[in-house]
Amino acid sequence: MRSMRHRQQHASASLKRRTRFAILVMVIVVVGALASVAVATNVLAPDLTTPSPTGDATTTPASVASAFPILKEARQPADILPAAANMSLEAPGTAAAHYGVNPALSHFAGELHGEKVWLVPGATGTCIWVAGAGAICASNAVMTSQGGSLIEAPLSGASSMIGVTPEGTSVSARNSTGSSATVATNERLFYVAGEAPQTQVVLHTAAGEAVNLVTLSSHPGPPGG
């Protein structure tokens, strides 16, 4: 009888440990899902904590200015970044520091779907800053061919994507049902929200290449669902 009670107590304690572990895993997943996801297309993760060996850019690289002609224009008051952006982009150990990004070279790319976006060039990479959401940075080779985009994936509602497109490129989107999805655009920006049930966003480069950027969801499921 004592042995049976011991086995029952051991089984109960084991179940409690497994339950606590499962809850902990669920909490970690939920917390992770709360963050906005910044994506640089087709880029493996290099060590972005190392500083730029050449320091910050003093002028916009010619290839970047060619891809984004707005960067050739004289800076206006609207081109000045918000204080929070300056602090973030100038912090050591960040992708912006790795690419030698210089906030003093920023230009306002425009506003779309209520979101304001700035382009911030650097020596070897360029960032886009989205007010209220943060930054995404990529090498100048990627930015000049594919642009930069930032994805926001909330726990409820559709995930969305806002980005800056280089000169001569365009963006299209298609739902998994086969219908075309809505792509909001202005002179430099695009915005897409996930439709039913999923939306594939495609960038068409100046060279005629179709690059799959991301698949957005209209109704993100629960963690692990």
Single-letter residue type at 143: M
- For the chain, the average pLDDT equals 81
pLDDT value for 26: 29
- Tell me how crowded residue 174 is: count the other CB atoms within 10 A of its CB: 15
Q: pLDDT band at 220, cuts 50/70/90?
A: low
Residues 6 or more apart whose CB falls under 8 angstroms from that of 131 comprise: 82, 85, 115, 116, 117
Maximum distance among all alpha carbons in the chain?
Answer: 87
Contact 52, 122 (CB under 8 A): yes
Q: pLDDT band at 154, cuts 50/70/90?
A: confident
| Each residue's pLDDT tens digit, 9-38 | 444 444 344 433 332 332 323 223 223 334
Q: What is the spatial distance between Cα 9 and Cα 131, in angstroms, rounded to a whole number?
A: 55
pLDDT value for 33: 28
| Each residue's pLDDT tens digit, 39-88 | 333 344 567 778 888 889 999 999 999 999 999 999 999 999 999 999 99
